[in-house]
Amino acid sequence: MVVELKDFYEKFRDPKAIKALSKAINQEAQKLDHPINIMEVCGGHTHTIMKYGLLQLLPKNIRFIHGPGCPVCIMPKERIDHAYILAMQEDVILCTLGDMIKVPGSRGSLQDARSKGADVRFVYSPLDVLKIAKENPTKKIIFFAIGFETTTPMTAALIENALKQNIKNIFYHINHVTVPEVMRELIDSRDEHIDSYNNQIDAFLGPSHVSVITGSKIYEEFPTKYKRPVVVAGFEPVDVMEGVLMIIRQFLEDRCEVEIQYKRSVNRDGNLNAQKLIEKYFEKRELFKWRGLGNIPKSAWRLKDEYEHLDAEKLYSLPKEEIEDHKLCICGDILRGMAKPTECQVFGTACTPQKPLGSCMVSSEGACAAYYKYGNLLQEVQ
């Protein structure tokens, strides 16, 4: 018997299963005494919601609020400028993941740097950097590391392998961020503008891939301290719909707790080996600036002092001043869940995936990119 990849996900995209869950959600939601606003923290969930038209299948008293869980979207221009400056060094090959290469900073994007002669390379895995370093021994290879808890262990594994193989021409610009701190910020912020909206967050749909690494234990403070239930859900449409139903049932049964819908990969403790590898090389920064959210304490990693000889941030003279976003772009409000992409005056006109002004349109996980790509479905539900 040949097992194909589609065998692992087809049942989670089964239209009959999705419709059955929609029916159950609509029946259960009728019993609620107030609407529920669910923040899907991760951009992966946003794209599933938009791609499969899940908004149309939900009752009006269940609302999604898009969260800040896209590693490209939350990167401030200052950090992108760092990447640009590093890439423009004569003896440097700069490597990074995902859509980061297209995100504009104040000096341009990494794509612009490449057009000016910089050697910027996209890698599918941080471990690809090892091969590039071996093939270019006279160059300094700088890995511009991005992502949440999902990709942080891969950067730690890169460092581990480079040290074991005595490869000395790899350096790191670390931008790995963490989920619980930004969730806490969205609720705890005393900023009048932010607080006025985020009091509307009734529950969280927790990111599954992050939780595979961390375990569901990282969310336990939200039901106990903040009275917000969290359901860790997978990224397939059946996962999301079942996660929504689990949240509704918590409200109906007067429960507030962390639950795992994505039990096929997530448990309470997570991947302990990955967690140990992260703690071996990284420690928390005092502050890290998130695009649209400002500085959030202990929300990102940096290399430990014993590895500072590998830290590109310390080896190169990089600017420290903060940079404002484009005045017409409302990525900040979108990342805070305060606005929908369609509320932006430049959405789909001056800002498109081909010519993005903001990171939410650049990133394949960005909310603006999801609305732009699947906008026809959105118009139907409106």
Torsion, Cα of 135, 139, 144, 149 (10° steps): 50
3-state secondary structure (DSSP) of residue 259: strand
Is the pLDDT confidence value at 1 over 80? no
**Confidence at residue 5, expressed as pLDDT on a 0 to 100 scale:** 60
Bigger pLDDT: 211 or 66? 211
Tens digits of residue pLDDT in 302-359? 999 999 999 999 999 999 888 877 778 888 788 877 788 888 989 988 888 888 888 7
Taking Cα atoms as reference points, which of 233, 217, 227, 226 lies closest to residue 255?
Answer: 227
**Confidence at residue 196, expressed as pLDDT on a 0 to 100 scale:** 46
- What percent of the chain has pLDDT above 90? 68
**Confidence at residue 3, expressed as pLDDT on a 0 to 100 scale:** 56
Cβ–Cβ < 8 Å for 171, 141: yes
Taking Cα atoms as reference points, which of 186, 233, 214, 302 lies closest to residue 49?
Answer: 233
The two beta strands, 119-122 and 92-96, are: parallel
Cα 52 to the chain's mean position, in Å? 20
**Confidence at residue 376, expressed as pLDDT on a 0 to 100 scale:** 62
**Confidence at residue 334, expressed as pLDDT on a 0 to 100 scale:** 84
Mean pLDDT of the residues in the chain: 90
**Confidence at residue 336, expressed as pLDDT on a 0 to 100 scale:** 77
φ/ψ of 300, rounded to 5, equals: -155, 160
Tens digits of residue pLDDT in 151-161? 999 999 999 99
| Residue 274's pLDDT band (cuts 50, 70, 90) | very high
Tens digits of residue pLDDT in 198-251? 567 899 999 999 999 999 999 999 999 999 999 999 999 999 999 999 999 999
Bigger pLDDT: 187 or 282? 282
